[in-house]
Chains A and B, each alone.
Chain A
Amino acid sequence: MGSRIQILAITASILVILLVIFLVRQRKLREEYCIIWIIGSLSLIVFSIWRGLLDIIGNLVGVYYAPAFLLLVGIMFGALGFLHLMVVISTHTDQNKNMAQEIALLKGKLEELTARREPSG
């Protein structure tokens, strides 16, 4: 039953969930990103409580050592998350660029208009 590692895993997962909820409440993390963390943590809790599940899935996909499968899924999850972040950054870079260009153009126009209104100064 309750081995130390189980308790550790469950505690860590709950802490992650709490941290994520805290960050969303502080408006430091958007809801759309918190969902994925909560799902990830909840599935870790499920695996920690129901230890047989991992073996069942391991058998299903034909992995001899079931925890290795969990590790694989975890790494893939991390890599996909990383890719997703790069997509988000790329979008932001593009938006940032467009806004910077817009600002430069607007400032130029503003200067021109001001100069036209006050020809002396």
Chain B
Amino acid sequence: MSSAESRVCIIVPAYNEEVNIRPVIEDLRRCHPEFKIVVINDCSEDGTEKAVRELGQTVLNLPVNLGIGGAVQTGLKFARDNGYDIAVQFDGDGQHRAIEIERIITPVINGEADVVIGSRFLSPGNYKGSFSRRLGISVFRFVNSLMVGSRILDNTSGFRAYNRDAISFLARIYPQDYPEPEAVIELHRNRFSIMEVPVVMRERTGGKSSIGVFGSIYYMIKVLLGIMIAFSRKPIPREEPEDG
């Protein structure tokens, strides 16, 4: 299977991203005009939907705000229902670069991994986050690496590629509030192979990060608990592959 033959769906979750969404879509279209772009509008109160429509892309409007997990899962359900071979999760805030998509889908296309995470930490020293953010990232790196049995450096990265099996699994089960680190464990527990490839991310171009100062403490506790519980769960039997 080559990149030209695979049908790829790019899932872009967006909540109040009317400023950022336009350059994000333009970037995606420039690099990959052949891929399907689907924006999940998580009940935005601004002109996100209008901006996406003006660019002629598919937008799925959630009637209530579900948060990042619920939005991404909507995109995964879309990819599953429409039979896409590969789904790419791509943030609507402009921090991911479309040019790196090739890099994260190649191992999926070649069958080297079910899931590929675009990692900020495999290439040296390009990430500058706040102290609490870096602390959180280190804690998740330690805990998740311990549980997965191999090093997963960037557990909070939302730049990921999935194959069909991973799409249909995550369409059924996807963590909700701060889903990325927990999803790594769920995937690992269900025997999906996970690979990291180095990517460079941009600093945020507009808006604010979804996690504030007080939120980060809650975030850490909640996610750590979620990871432990996810680890203790039994693997879920896979769905029979559907042909046709």
Contact = CB atoms under 8 A, between A and B. Distances in A.
Interface stretch (A5-13, A33-41, A66-74, A95-103): A95-103
Interface in A62-108: 96-97, 100-101, 103-105, 107-108
A101 B72 CA distance: 10
B60 A96 contact: no
Contacts of A108: 58-61, 78
Contact of B77 (A96, A101, A107): A101
For the complex, would chain B's binding face be called helix, strand, loop or mixed by DSSP majority?
mixed
Chain B interface size band reads 10 to 19
A101 B70 contact: yes
Interface residues of A, number: 10
B40 interface: yes
For the complex, would chain A's binding face be called helix, strand, loop or mixed by DSSP majority?
helix
B66 interface: yes
B20 interface: no
Contacts of B74: 101, 104-105
28 contacts: A96-B64, A97-B66, A97-B176, A100-B62, A100-B63, A100-B64, A100-B70, A101-B62, A101-B66, A101-B70, A101-B73, A101-B74, A103-B62, A103-B63, A104-B40, A104-B60, A104-B61, A104-B63, A105-B60, A105-B77, A105-B78, A105-B81, A107-B60, A107-B61, A108-B58, A108-B59, A108-B78, A112-B58
Interface of B: 40, 58-64, 66, 70, 73-74, 77-78, 81, 176
Interface of A: 96-97, 100-101, 103-105, 107-108, 112
List 10 tightest A-B contacts by C-beta distance, closest first: A104-B60, A101-B74, A108-B60, A104-B62, A100-B64, A97-B70, A103-B63, A100-B62, A100-B63, A104-B74
